[in-house]
Chain A
Amino acid sequence: QKEVEQDPGPLSVPEGAIVSLNCTYSNSAFQYFMWYRQYSRKGPELLMYTYSSGNKEDGRFTAQVDKSSKYISLFIRDSQPSDSATYLCAMMGGNEKLTFGTGTRLTIIP
């Protein structure tokens, strides 16, 4: 069983919709949670970075962490075609090494 599970999609939604992306994990030592966005044939870029449980908002993006359920989410409001990308969750515990999910491919349809 992988330490981090992420539905690979693909996920297609109409422009303007709210998008929900999720990851589950099994390692209770994870304390730092990130979402990376990766455009086709590009490197990942950090989108959101949260510590422990709770919510963090940045513009149209909200990251949510529920440590009791070992579940993290990324919400995208008012989705735009430019949001079309692969979204990777990543987590870190005491060993300070990132463990990535496999990524969810998202397409926003104009």
Chain B
Amino acid sequence: NAGVTQTPKFQVLKTGQSMTLQCAQDMNHNSMYWYRQDPGMGLRLIYYSASEGTTDKGEVPNGYNVSRLNKREFSLRLESAAPSQTSVYFCASNLAGGRETQYFGPGTRLLVL
């Protein structure tokens, strides 16, 4: 089992460019999450998907869109990247949302110039 995988590992964008961060899990989990991690801010929830076909906003959704492509995959899209979106992005999943343990991917480091 690979667990939660994320691509790419690292990306540099120019302001205004778009990109999609990919996440996949092979644990048959129903719920998936996108977080960003910034120095001095901790991990903050961007969007989550409680189950296939549903998505909801988290604490910091502005500037992002998500797609729950199927049960395994949950992508995060930046339509017009800004320097404030420079961060490390983590995808996580758990079996049934709520209080279940979340399992994290290795992260994508994004630099927006």
Which listed residue (B44, B45, B104, B107) contacts A45, Cβ 8 A?
Answer: B104
Q: Which residues of A contact B43 (CB under 8 A)?
A: 44, 88, 90, 98, 100
Q: Which residues of B contact A4 (CB under 8 A)?
A: 42
Expressed in whole angstroms, the Cα–Cα distance for A44 and B104 within the complex equals 6
Majority secondary structure, B binding face: loop
Which listed residue (A43, A49, A97, A102) contacts B106, Cβ 8 A?
Answer: A43
The reply to whether B45 and A42 form a contact with Cβ atoms under 8 Å apart is no
The reply to whether A97 and B42 form a contact with Cβ atoms under 8 Å apart is no
What's the minimum C-beta distance from A52 to chain B, rounded to whole angstroms?
A: 12
Contact of A46 with B by CB under 8 A: yes
Which listed residue (B41, B90, B97, B98) contacts A43, Cβ 8 A?
Answer: B90
- Identity of the chain A residue whose Cβ is nearest the Cβ of B40 in the assembled complex: A102
Contact status of A96 and B107, CB under 8 A, knowing A43-B4, A88-B42, A101-B42: no
Q: Which residues of B contact A101 (CB under 8 A)?
A: 42
Interfacial residues of chain A within 91-110, with CB under 8 A of chain B in the complex:
92, 96-98, 100-103
The reply to whether B98 and A96 form a contact with Cβ atoms under 8 Å apart is yes
